[in-house]
């Protein structure tokens, strides 16, 4: 089944570029040139994913994001010229799922879209018990991790942290999200502790911990578990 992507972007050149790119990748594409229209199309067209520009005339992307979240859980990918991480964090707090910065890399954009659609479409009821990514295999029942066939000893917290990341391949995982999932909501601000455990994990699972292949850093925002 073809997924429908709604592009909310006021610059027509960029909107057309996105439309061609996404249609070329096999998606059905709808375009809205302002936020009001975009919000209305979310209600009327029920897209599978929204690609949302931040700088829009009238109501801006932040407000569109906030309004969409009041009525829908559709994945929202922010498209922004701004590289300020505080802006991205703000967007995530308003309910966006991920972001790409303009000018965007086509492959990165398509990978982010695939990751969000996969997650949205994944059946939540039957929980997967074995996760694979590159040479890493994590087994929730056996409580084991192997890298390239070799068994790796992890502490309970390291195991939990890795399992949260491997369940969300390719997805942006903000500091607060990881801390809440692994340590609990009362530890949501304890970023230094998270960094320490990421450091431990990288030393155990990365072929070259100084140039991570799996656990990628999103500066000032969080991490992304890379399986591509
Ligand atoms: Ca714009």
Same structural domain, 159 and 113 = no
Spell out the per-residue pLDDT of the chain, length 228, in tens: 789 999 999 999 999 999 999 999 999 999 999 999 999 999 999 999 999 999 899 999 999 999 999 999 999 999 887 667 777 888 888 899 999 988 889 999 999 999 899 888 765 546 789 999 999 999 999 999 999 999 999 999 999 999 999 998 888 999 999 999 999 999 999 999 999 999 999 999 999 999 999 999 999 999 999 987
Last-in-domain residue among 98, 120, 142? 120
d(CA 178, CA 194) in angstroms, rounded, equals 8
Domain holding 37, by residue range, is: 4-120
d(CA 53, CA 93) in angstroms, rounded, equals 16
- The strand pairing partners of 171, in sequence order, are none
Same structural domain, 106 and 18 = yes
49 CA from centroid of ligand 1 (Å): 18
Per the structure, the count of domains in the chain is 2
Evaluate if pTM is beyond 0.85. no
90 CA from centroid of ligand 1 (Å): 18
Last-in-domain residue among 120, 151, 167? 120
51 CA from centroid of ligand 1 (Å): 12
Same structural domain, 147 and 216 = yes
Residue partners of 25: CB distance under 8 A and separation at least 6: 110, 113
Rg (alpha carbons) of the chain, rounded to whole number: 19
DSSP symbol at 3:
P
Same structural domain, 8 and 68 = yes
Same structural domain, 77 and 101 = yes
- Taking the CA atoms of 83, 186, 157 and 122 in sequence, report the sign of the dihedral they define: negative
């Amino acid at each position: 089944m073809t997924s429908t992507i709604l592009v909310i972007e006021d610059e027509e050149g960029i909107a057309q570029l996105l439309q061609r790119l996404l249609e070329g990748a096999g998606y059905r594409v709808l375009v809205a040139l302002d936020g009001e229209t975009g919000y209305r199309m979310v209600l009327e067209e029920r897209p599978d994913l929204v690609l949302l520009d931040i700088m829009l005339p009238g109501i801006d992307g932040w407000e569109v994001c906030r309004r969409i979240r009041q009525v829908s859980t559709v994945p929202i990918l922010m498209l922004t010229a701004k590289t300020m991480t505080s802006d991205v964090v703000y967007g995530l707090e308003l309910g966006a799922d991920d972001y790409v910065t303009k000018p965007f890399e086509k492959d990165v954009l398509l990978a982010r879209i695939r990751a969000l659609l996969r997650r949205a479409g994944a059946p939540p009821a039957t929980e997967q018990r074995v996760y694979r990514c590159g040479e890493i295999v994590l087994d929730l029942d056996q409580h084991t991790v192997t890298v390239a066939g070799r068994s790796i000893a992890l502490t309970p917290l390291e195991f939990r942290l890795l399992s949260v990341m491997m369940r969300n391949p390719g997805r942006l995982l903000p500091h607060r999200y990881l801390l809440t999932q692994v340590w609990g909501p009362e530890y949501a601000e304890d970023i230094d502790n998270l960094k320490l455990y990421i450091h431990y994990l990288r030393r155990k699972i990365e072929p070259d911990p100084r140039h991570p292949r799996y656990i990628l850093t999103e500066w000032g925002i969080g991490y992304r578990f890379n399986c591509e």
